[in-house]
Structure 1
Amino acid sequence: MRITVVGSINLDFVARAERLPAPGETVTGAALSRHPGGKGANQALAAEKLGAEVCLIGRVGNDAQAGEALALMEDYGVDLAGVEVDVAAPTGVALIAVDATGENQIVVAAGANHLVTPEQLPQRIEGALIVQLELPIETVEAAVGRATGFVCANLAPAQPVSERLLRRADLIVVNETEAAFYGDGLHRGGGRVVVTKGAKGAAMYQRGVEMAWATPPAVEAIDATGAGDAFVAALAVALLEGMDPAEALRFACAAGAAAATRAGAQSSLPERAEVEALLSG
């Protein structure tokens, strides 16, 4: 299974505190850690760990953060030939606050991610494609337009996209907030639309009609960072492997739940055996 991911690459700075701050409030006593992240990189690594052969297209800066941001993907064999180094912009950074229940707040400084242009893409993207919206929208639109196979669009963070993208995507994944932003437009194409609802599970629709629902296995959540990206990658892998919608949703929910049991984004992404153990347990 060959998957190309066109997406963001970040280094995450994670502050774990007892609770998240209210607007204008300072919360003290946090513990700081650094983890590779970025929705594109997270989904690329997650798909690789679940059994796909993955190529990532993205951009990093010519700085020390780039090595940290790419390290885990290099370790697991993600093809990084499509990752370019930009001498003018820094590697993207995400500032993440996580509370004792695993809920988080995230602020992203995109850096080199915002310099990924359509010219960096191949003229044809063979095999499957996964995109998100942490790159310039014209680059995401170009990637979808050049895809020859299955297209998964994780429309996050929410922003306007073209009708052509919505109709071309075979799979659209959004959370409840993003689903409200897009409204009925999500269902205008013939592809499947999945709405995630955190610990409550996820529903799959086709042309606005619910066709499957799944809930995640019970786990002790530590950090939700990366759980959504694990879900997206696992769902794409499962559907590409030929699982039926309900089975694919269960697999994806288990992957997301597994990721929530550990701190960090990429460091929390599960191996295939862990997901299957959760499903069988």
Structure 2
Amino acid sequence: MIVVFGSINIDLVTPVERLPGAGETVLGPGYAIHPGGKGANQALAARRAGADVALVGAVGRDGFAETALALLAADGVDLSGVARLDEPTGAAFIAIDRDGANQIIVAAGANAAAEPDALRRMPLGAKDVLLLQCEVPAAANLAAAQAMKAAGGRVILNLAPAEAPAAALLSSVHIMIVNEHEALVLAQALGWPERDPEATAQRLDAERGIAMVATLGAAGVVAWQGGTRHRLPAPQVTVVDTVAAGDSFTGAFAAALAAGSDFAQALRHGLAAGSLACTRPGAQPSIPYGAEITALAAESDRTQ
């Protein structure tokens, strides 16, 4: 089973001709409301990729809560660990330009009070995987990671949004997933001079025993795991928007590992899922299902 401890949001998304600069107002024609949040997105991505998934987090008692949970419930994610709090359901305000690039502001709401109590009550074991991100309190993330590590399961940390991870958290992490900016923040937090994501990945693997995956957008992915380098290109797709591409990668990657795939094959499934998410608008509505992930991953294998 995959347990995701993380944020649950409502996304308010507006298309714009170009993203605004500091102090600038840019008009959009309208907006759409989608369920989102990195925790919820990754839980849905792992579930659609074929894994059994439980989500632990928090929403408010407001009108946004049911919308935020609707697609998760429809696809069979276990939501019994989601608390209902007096704080408002978290929200993200997203602008997407004509090239698919985005700017995102997140209001934490109930996510700022999320606790892993439900995770501690689960019968965790060595076959389980915990997915963490950085949209819930750091102390709660640490408690969740320590609970999974004590149970013998694997802990995957997606260092997003980018922040310096505590040393205690790093000691409980087995796999780190970052983009290029997050890789730089990680290196700086560790006091390392490396600026290239691959160099940071190689050093984290060698010195800390933490496998690291760096997603590189259209350039694919580079990773180091157990002293082995993995470098894979991304499938070629037509980009509509990039929202939830990273979450789709992470969820599908974790699902493949939980299903017994080796590290390289899990990377291929993650890349296929992230690429497919770029071809559709929205966060959770863009997350692909297992059959199409498998098909694109197989096609990529044939063309490489």
Q: TM-score, normalised by structure 1?
A: 0.94
Counterpart position of 1:260: 278
Cα distance in 1 for partners of 2:265, 2:116 equals 35
Deviation at residue 210 of structure 1 after TM alignment:
5.6
The amino acid of 1:140's aligned partner reads N
Structure ranking higher in strand proportion: 1
Q: Secondary structure at the match of 2:24?
A: coil
Is the contact made by 1:203 and 1:210 (CA closer than 8 Å) also made in structure 2? no
Counterpart amino acid of residue 94 in structure 2: I
Q: Which amino acid aligns with 2:208?
A: G
3-state DSSP class of the match of 1:133?
coil
Following superposition, the deviation at residue 120 of structure 1 comes to 5.2
Asked whether the 8 Å contact 1:167–1:190 carries over to 2, the reply is: no
Q: In structure 1, how many angstroms separate the alpha carbons of the residues matched to 2:298 and 2:4?
A: 29
- 78-87 vs 244-253, greater mean Cα deviation: 244-253
User: For residue 146 of structure 1, what is the aligned residue in structure 2?
Assistant: 147
Q: Which stretch of structure 1 is more off in the superposition, 113-122 or 264-273?
A: 113-122
SS at match of 1:25: coil
User: Aligned to 2:55, what secondary structure does the other structure show?
Assistant: strand
Query: Paired residue for 1:250, among 268, 276, 281?
Result: 268
Superposed displacement of residue 190, structure 1: 1.3
Instruction: Give the distance between the partners of 1:17 and 1:213, measured in 2 at CA.
Output: 34
Distance 1:114 1:98, change over 3 A: same
Deviation at 1:18, TM superposition (A): 1.8
Aligned partner of 1:217: which letter? P
Deviations 1:157-184 (A, max 9, x none): 1222222322321211011111111117
Greater Cα offset, 260-269 or 120-129: 120-129
Partners of 1:124 and 1:74 in 2: how far apart? 19
**Hey, what's the Cα distance between the residues in 2 that align with 1:80 and 1:189?**
34
The 8 Å contact of residues 154 and 173 in structure 1, kept in 2 or not, is answered as yes
| 1:89-147 Cα shifts (integer Å, max 9, x gaps) | 10000000001111100000000000113545425661211111100000000000000
Aligned to 2:171, the other structure's residue is in SS state helix
- Equivalent position of 1:10 in the other structure: 9
Q: Structure 2 regions of 5+ residues with no counterpart?
A: 191-200, 300-304
Which residue identity does 2:270 align to in structure 1? A
TM-score by length of 2: 0.87
Q: RMSD of aligned C-alpha atoms?
A: 1.7
1:200 maps to what in 2? 219
Q: Which structure 2 residues correspond to residues 101-120 of structure 1 after superposition, within 5 A?
A: 101-119=99-117
Shift of 1:198: 0.9
Amino acid at match of 2:142: E
The 5-angstrom pairing of residues 30-179 of structure 1 reads: 30-87=29-86, 89-119=87-117, 121-122=119-120, 126=124, 127-147=128-148, 148=151, 149-179=153-183
